[in-house]
Structure 1
Amino acid sequence: MSLSIKTPLIESLPLGRLNGTRIWMKMEAAQPSGSFKIRGIGYACEHHYGQGARRFISSSGGNAGLAVAYAGRKLNIPVIVVVPETTSERARNLLQLEGAQVVVHGEMWSEANQRALSLLTEQDAFLHPFDDPLLWQGHASMIDEVVAEGVNPDAVILSVGGGGLLAGVDEGLRRNGLDNVPIFAVETQGMASFNAALKAGKPVEVPTLTGVATSLGARQVCQQAFDLSKKRTITPVIVSDHEAVDACLSFLDDHHMLIEPACGASLAPLYGNKLNIESYKNVLVIVCGGSTATVNSLISFVG
């Protein structure tokens, strides 16, 4: 039995009207851990459990850590999640609610990650938030589900942070014979590590990460995400924090689901009618979710 669930595939009439085409939404925010992350992380956790792992260790205070904690609870395996000091109290509480032991270390994710790696023993499995082929294999299942419902997307829109979702969607498209489908990869201005990699011709570290879409906050995208830009058409798109948050609020009105700004980023170009996608017949947007978002946090940002 999979730790992730089959999520709804819903046509958005409001976004379709705005953009002059059919917009399909894969509602990954409906996953039990609150985001798409449980697909890949659940798949990886089941793999490691089958290989004898008896404790899971992660270094994410966001969606990835929550997915590991959920997987550990379902498999009855203890979980340690190391988070940086910047992790919100809400995120820490959600991790503890899932039964994870939360360790706070360092000012940024890289420091928390080093601490997490230092805790590993032979009986542990480390779950990276985005850079792991097992994760990409698990994430690909969302495309399997879309195709099984009779929708063959001719364009995909998604948010990109570290690149795990991008890599998984690419794998899902390829294994369903959709190798030539273009992808629009959306980031916010202060979190644009994928765009920086494209400009530099290789993955590079972004000096500083700023803004509200903290789940996109990988200082450097994984090599796989960059390599894919050489193999298929991937168009980088950058939106502002305000556009991302406004999209979250508009989406809440239109489709009655709360998502975080990192997910709102992928919807912002659609609400702003910025992509010129009228020539496509079936555009798929990955509504990736967001476990720690609150209505108050969104409203307080826009004032």
Structure 2
Amino acid sequence: MSLSIKTPLLESLPLSQLNGTKVLMKMEAAQPSGSFKIRGIGYACEQHVARGAHRFISSSGGNAGLAVAYAGRRLNVPVVVVVPETTSERARHLLRLEGAEVIVHGASWAEANELALSLKTARDAFLHPFDDPLVWHGHSSMIDEVVVEGVRPDAVILSVGGGGLLAGVDEGLRRNGLDGVPIYAAETEGMASFHAALKAGGPVELPALTGVATTLGARQVCQRAFDLAQKRPVVSVLVSDREAVESCKAFLDDHRTLVEPACGASLALLYGRKIAVGSLQNVLVIVCGGSTATVDSLNSLRG
């Protein structure tokens, strides 16, 4: 039983015409938990259950926590999610809807995470949102699905937060002999931990996170994301909050799918024609989704 689904691979005529190439969208927003996170988190949860875990613990009120909660419900394993006070009521509601026990603690994710880790016993599994080889391996399956459909992308566009999606896509590309394919890694200017790592020569902690793309908000990108950028072409591209939000709105009009600003960052590379891809045959963009996105929340963001 796989907890994730095979998602559609669709051509975007608006983005293809705008960029002078064929743009293909891997529609991870269609995953049952609302984002790509269920691929890696779900795979990790299955592995932990096989090893005897009796409870899942998470410290994310966003896409990762909702993926853990969904996995727990499907696997009939209790889930505890510790979230900071800043977590939206909608996120708390969605976690409880999946049957998770929600504990609100602390002013920041770091404080919530500290409590979550303190709750872990030998019978529990702690699910890290992005820095885990099991999670990367689960995410890599999306590239297998693309290749099975006969598509070998010339470039991949994705958003980067902690680096788990980047690490998973890299693994999938390498497994399918696509080692040289460039990855364009998008971040908003206030959430650019990957960009900072490339600039500093290694992962560094950002002094602060700002802006609307909150699910990109990892203070420090994982070491794996930095390391793979030394082995394959990875191009860091920054976009503004406004560009991310406006891209979400354009995408909703063009493709009838609501995504969050973190996903809008990668779409902004295409809507804003920020990268030269006109000479390529197949450009793949990972439409990573967003579990808590609503029309009202998008309209309230001024970017």
TM-score (normalizing by structure 1): 0.99
Distance 1:204 1:72 in 2: 33
The 5-angstrom pairing of residues 37-56 of structure 1 reads: 37-56=37-56
The residue type paired with residue 131 of structure 2 is: D
Q: Which residue of 1 aligns with 2:179?
A: 179
Name the SS for the 2:301 alignment partner.
Answer: helix
The residue type paired with residue 65 of structure 2 is: G
Q: Which residue of 1 aligns with 2:204?
A: 204
- Point out where structure 1 has 5 or more consecutive residues left out of the alignment: none
Q: Which residue of 2 aligns with 1:263?
A: 263
Name the SS for the 2:197 alignment partner.
Answer: helix
The residue type paired with residue 50 of structure 1 is: A
The residue type paired with residue 159 of structure 1 is: S
Q: Which residue of 2 aligns with 1:283?
A: 283
Distance 1:86 1:3 in 2: 29
Superposed displacement of residue 263, structure 1: 0.3
Distance 1:272 1:284 in 2: 16
Q: Which residue of 1 aligns with 2:82?
A: 82
Distance 2:164 2:154 in 1: 21
The residue type paired with residue 294 of structure 2 is: T
Cα deviation per residue 1:18-59 (whole Å; 9 max; x = unaligned)? 000000000000000000000000000000000000100001
Superposed displacement of residue 302, structure 1: 3.4
Superposed displacement of residue 298, structure 1: 1.0
1:246 aligns with 2:262: no
Distance 1:71 1:281 in 2: 37
Distance 2:112 2:203 in 1: 21
Superposed displacement of residue 107, structure 1: 1.4
Task: Between 103-112 and 153-162, report the one with greater CA deviation.
Answer: 103-112
Superposed displacement of residue 207, structure 1: 0.3
- Alpha-carbon RMSD across the aligned residues, in angstroms, is 0.8
Superposed displacement of residue 262, structure 1: 0.2
- Equivalent pairs counted in the alignment come to 303
Q: Which residue of 1 aligns with 2:103?
A: 103
Distance 2:219 2:104 in 1: 20
Distance 2:280 2:132 in 1: 32
Name the SS for the 1:174 alignment partner.
Answer: helix
Name the SS for the 1:140 alignment partner.
Answer: helix
Distance 1:212 1:10 in 2: 27
Write out the 4+ residue segments of structure 1 that deviate beyond 6 Å after TM superposition.
none
TM-score (normalizing by structure 2): 0.99
Distance 2:22 2:107 in 1: 43
Paired-residue identity, %? 78
Name the SS for the 2:187 alignment partner.
Answer: strand
Distance 2:112 2:154 in 1: 39
